[in-house]
């Protein structure tokens, strides 16, 4: 099993450009998440999807959109990139669905390192 | 106050030595508290989970403790190895997950 796969690994954008970060998991997990990680700060939730067909905003959703394409895939889109979006982006998944099971760990991908100039 | 705080921010120790990382969490009780290890350039990986009723839990050379009175958790690493060099992140689950900023551990030969 590959676990959680993120593409691309690295990306450089100019201000105003758009791009989509891709994430896929092969563990049949219900819930998927997008986080950003910045130096000196804890991981911050951008958007999450508790189950196929649902998405919800997290702590820092402004400037981002998401699509839960199917149970495996959850993409993050930057419509008009800004320097403040320079960060490392992590996708994660858990088996947890709408029923709960809060003891499941998050399974993370290896991140996309995005620089916006 | 809903921030999970970790200390120290960074730590350098010699191979074979022990160390203890601290986490101050926010809410008592909580669903669970988990420690993750994040190697450079990789995503975090779960090390151990503690529920509110547990005081201590071990996973090999890693031992996590919980003090509900002071709202503190510690991660103790015994007989450190070079491969322990990583960031260690404390995460409090109170329905939503609250992440600490992590402690960056460097183990030197």
Q: pLDDT of B1-17, one tens digit each?
A: 568 999 999 999 999 99
Question: Which residues in chain A are contacts of B54 at CB distance < 8 A?
Answer: none
Q: How confident is the model at residue A12 (pLDDT cuts 50, 70, 90)?
A: very high
CA distance A60 to chain B (A): 13
Q: With a CB-CB cutoff of 8 Å, which residues 18-77 of chain A face chain B?
A: 40-45
Asked if B96's CB is within 8 angstroms of A105's CB, the reply is no
Q: How far apart are CA A74 and CA A103, in angstroms?
A: 22
* Residue in B with minimal Cα distance to A5: B43
How high is the pLDDT of residue A65? 97
| Cβ-based neighbour number of residue B12 at 10 Å | 11
CA distance A76 to chain B (A): 17
Q: What is the pLDDT of residues A25-39, one digit of tens each?
A: 999 999 999 999 999
The three-state secondary structure class of B70 is: coil
- DSSP characters over B42-53: S--EEEEEEETT
> Pick from B42, B96, B101: which is nearest to A41 by CB?
B101
* Residue in B with minimal Cα distance to A111: B43
Q: How far apart are CA A50 and CA A58, in angstroms?
A: 12
């Amino acid at each position: 099993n590959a676990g959680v796969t993120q593409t691309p690994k690295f990306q450089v954008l100019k201000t105003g450009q758009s791009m989509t970060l891709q994430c896929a998991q092969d563990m049949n997990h219900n819930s998927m998440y997008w986080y950003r990680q910045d130096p000196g700060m804890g991981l911050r939730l951008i958007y999450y999807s508790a189950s196929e067909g649902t998405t919800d905003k997290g702590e820092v959703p402004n400037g981002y959109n998401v699509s839960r394409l199917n149970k495996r895939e959850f993409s993050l889109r930057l419509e008009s990139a800004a320097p403040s979006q320079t960060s490392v982006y992590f996708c994660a998944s858990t088996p947890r669905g709408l029923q709960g099971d809060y003891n499941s760990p998050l399974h993370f991908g290896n991140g996309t390192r995005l620089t916006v100039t | 106050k809903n921030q999970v705080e970790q200390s120290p921010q960074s730590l350098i120790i010699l191979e074979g030595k022990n160390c203890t990382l601290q986490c101050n969490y926010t809410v008592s009780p909580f669903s669970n508290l988990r420690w993750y290890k994040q190697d450079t350039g990789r995503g975090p990986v779960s090390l151990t989970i503690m529920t509110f009723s547990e005081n201590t839990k071990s996973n090999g050379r890693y031992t996590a403790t919980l003090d509900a009175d002071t709202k503190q958790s510690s991660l103790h690493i015994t007989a450190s190895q070079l491969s322990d060099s990583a960031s260690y992140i404390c995460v409090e689950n109170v329905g939503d997950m609250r992440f600490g900023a992590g402690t960056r551990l460097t183990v030197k030969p």
